[in-house]
Amino acid sequence: MAIEVKNISVAKIKEFLETPKGKRVTLIVVATLVVFVLGMGFLFFFLLGRAPQVPERAVQPPPKAEEAAPEEAAETTVPAPAEGYEIYEYKDPFKPLITAPTTETVAEPTTPTAGPVPLALDDIFVEDGVTYASIRYGDAVYKVTEGDRVNESPYQVLSIGTDSVVLLYGDDRITLRLGEEILK
């Protein structure tokens, strides 16, 4: 099936648009374009362009029984901006606007935090068929086997050889030889 292309001039188009059929076609095309533009505007501005609006509420503690009076309830106050921020400034989304009062407990440290703690391999021995290592961490000596953690330190024993121990410190593997001492 062959499509025949006719040479259409501007004069023929104007002549067609002046006919009743041409006016209807023009009206349909214009109406379709208006509906399309309005529909796209609605989608963009109302559905995609705005985040959902959450009304701001001031969180206030419940009034005490002796302070609350029905006559005073009609008065409202505007909440102050969050601590350290002006109203128009950026607010950290992970910092709570209101914090609950907490009770503080002070724990005594179990290990000195003044500097690096020395770690040394003192001895490797076998007891009842199980291989152990004597590891000195700080001022104390610990008897450990494969898979053990050296006290509450970040060191975990991966394997014990005849003259060395492989430790896991975070993601790092450290090989400690007999008599060797490291500071971390």
Which pLDDT does position 39 carry in this prediction?
Answer: 87
What three-state secondary structure class fits 117?
coil
Dist. CA 165–CA 182, nearest whole Å: 13
pLDDT over 70 (residue 108): no
> Among 69-73, 77-81, 155-159, 162-166, which is the least confidently predicted range?
69-73
Dist. CA 33–CA 40, nearest whole Å: 11
> Among 45-49, 56-60, 168-172, which is the least confidently predicted range?
56-60
Closest CA to 140 of 127, 153, 128: 153
% the chain with pLDDT above 90: 32
Which pLDDT does position 120 carry in this prediction?
Answer: 92
pLDDT over 80 (residue 130): yes
pLDDT over 90 (residue 34): yes
Neighbouring CB atoms inside 10 A of 183's CB total 9
Residue ranges per structural domain of the chain: 10-48, 118-183
What separation in angstroms does the CA of 95 have from each of 52, 84, 91, 102?
21, 12, 8, 16
Output the CATH code of domain 118-183. 2.30.30.830
Burial class (CB in 10 A: 0-12, 13-18, 19+), 156: middle
Which pLDDT does position 161 carry in this prediction?
Answer: 92
> Among 1-15, 83-97, 124-138, 162-176, which is the least confidently predicted range?
83-97
% the chain with pLDDT above 70: 64
